[in-house]
Every structure is written in C-alpha cells, then in structure tokens.
Structure 1
Amino acid sequence: MTGPAVVLVGPMGAGKSTVGAILAQRLGVTCRDTDQDIVETAGKPISEIFLDEGEPHFRELERAAVRAALAEHTGILALGGGAVLAEETRALLAGQPVVFLEMGLSEAVKRVGLDAPRPLLVINPRQQWRKLMAERRPLYTEVARVVVSTEDRTPDEVADEILAALELQPTQPEKQ
C-alpha cells in the first residue's frame, strides 16, 4: 500500500508538527502538515479563514487537503486537530499507520496556553478544550493504530515510541 509512512492525529498542541519533523528526519522522508497546506491554498491564516468564510468552509478545505495528502505523500503526515470530524476523512484513514498523540488538559495549558489565536478556543478556552476533546477523543481512537501519550515526555521520546510501535527502522542516526 502506498501513502504516508505515519499519519499523526491529535489535539492542538499535542506535538504533531514537532514529532512529525523528528520522525521525518529519522526516516529520511519529508513531513507534511495539512493545516499548512490549507494556509498555502487559501493564502491566509486559518484564524482568518474561520472569520472570513466560517468553519464549514474551513472544514471543506481541510477534507480536500487531507484527501490530497493521503493520495500524494509518502512521508510523515500531520493532520489538523479537527480533521477526524469528517466521516470521509476517517474512512480514508482506515488501514493507514495512524498515531494518536494524546495529552490532557494540564499539558495543553502548558503547551498552547489556551490563549493563543485558536478560533475554537476563543471563549472559555479550558471548557472549550474539554468539550472538543470529549467530541474528538473517540474519533482519534477510532482511526488510530497506536495511541501515544505525550504527557511529560520529550518529542524524541514520543518519536522513539512511535517508531517501535509501528516497527519502523530509522535511516538516520538518532540524536544523543
């Protein structure tokens, strides 16, 4: 089967981009982020897409970005936090090497601060984050082959666990 070597899913701040870059370096492949694909296609930040065109338009762009990336990319693929909301996306992820990077609220507060310009966390960010995770955690788990906690762990430790769980052999020497 062709497609990405690893697909990373999880909430904002879980480390998808950071861990993705480490995995890509170790496996000698590139890392692609569908949120970045959306920004490049739209020509503006995601927060502006939400404000100007609304969340439904953003989700449409997101579905298209994920569909294209799954078809074209063979390296590491990081999906936006809400990509799993679309049934079409979950179907496309079936059989893929999907890793759910999991973390709790206290870790999210440390990493994201919950005051960053995140469109879905504007009002009462802690409560919104809990609500988003209650909705999304079952979907992340549904699509994941492996669940890896990022709580109190370095990105390198998370990457080590992913490589071992998916039985992937690094082509680049690990950092000491």
Structure 2
Amino acid sequence: MPHKISIFIPVYRESCFLEPLLTCLLNDPYENKEILVVVDEPTQRSLDVSKKFSDEVHFIFNGKRKGKANVLNEIVNESTGDIFLFLDSDVLLDVKGKGESFLEAIAKEMDNAEIVEVKKGVIKDSFISRIASYDYLGFNLTNWYFSRRMGRCLGINGAAFAVKRETFESLGGFRRVICEDLDIAT
C-alpha cells in the first residue's frame, strides 16, 4: 500500500501563494494524501480561500497567534499519514514537465530516509530574496557535504521538508525554539 502523506501548511494571517499551492497539491495525481492548513489570526482573504477548498482541505483557524512550532505540533495529532510533509505558505511547487508527481517523488525518497529536504529555489525579485538565495545555497551545500562525510543531517530548511511520522513522534515534535525547522534535524 502506498504511503499516506499528511501535508501541513501553517499560515500567519494570509498568504498570496496559498491558493496556487493548494491547487497544485490537489491536482497532484498521488491519491493517498490529506492536506491540513492552520491559520493564525486569519484575514478575510484566508477565510475566502478556505471556503473555496473546504471540501478537500482541512482548515483550522486560531483567533490569536500561537506560533509555527505550536500549531504544527497540534495539527499533526489530527493527521493520519505515515509521512509528514511540511510546506510554508509562501512555497510554490515547480512541477511543470517533471513527469513524476511531486508527492510520488516524496513517497519514493522516504522509502530510504527518515527525513528529506525538498529542493528549493527563490524568486529573486528583490534584494532580500537574492540574499536569501545565497543563504539557501550556502546552507544546502554545507549540509550536503557534512551529510555525505558524517552520514548525518545537520539541519534542514523548514520551508519544505518531509519526515516519517514515527521519527517526528520519537523526537517529540518541534521544540519551541527559534528556527524549529533547523532544530528538528539536528
């Protein structure tokens, strides 16, 4: 039986990328999936997006800001998947012309790993985004090098990564620290 993938998307107030991200995930042919979105302090735009996708996506709204680590730790308890895929709400999936579904590729990679970082690119439309792209590059190269030399993951960029449920639970979920995504991989 194929892995069931639980996809978690935390949102603070709103995201202009949430609707295209959900559309892409719902159009992915991988069937054994569930999508859970948690929104802290939702705006009208977030509520409108939730109405559009309410039949296929599970939404949770918090009237106050609880924080990314807290909401993700809470929402995993409502999931049924054996693979957790964490996606930030400002992620766009690049699936054009790949041939294989994004979620199928995640499921295959998870057959041989406990945690998988999803390759990322940055839309370089500002000075800050260009700096972020160099930060990602340096981080990823360093991580790749040390994982090959030491056989261990030093950290991950939490914008998009997958982890087996049993691994996530054995770690006790996200600790309430700054850079919770880097922390969980160490």
Structure showing the higher strand proportion among its residues: 2
Structure showing the higher helix proportion among its residues: 1
Structure ranking higher on relative contact order (CA contacts 8 Å, 6+ apart): 1
TM-score range, shorter chain: 0.3 to 0.5
TM-score by length of 2: 0.33
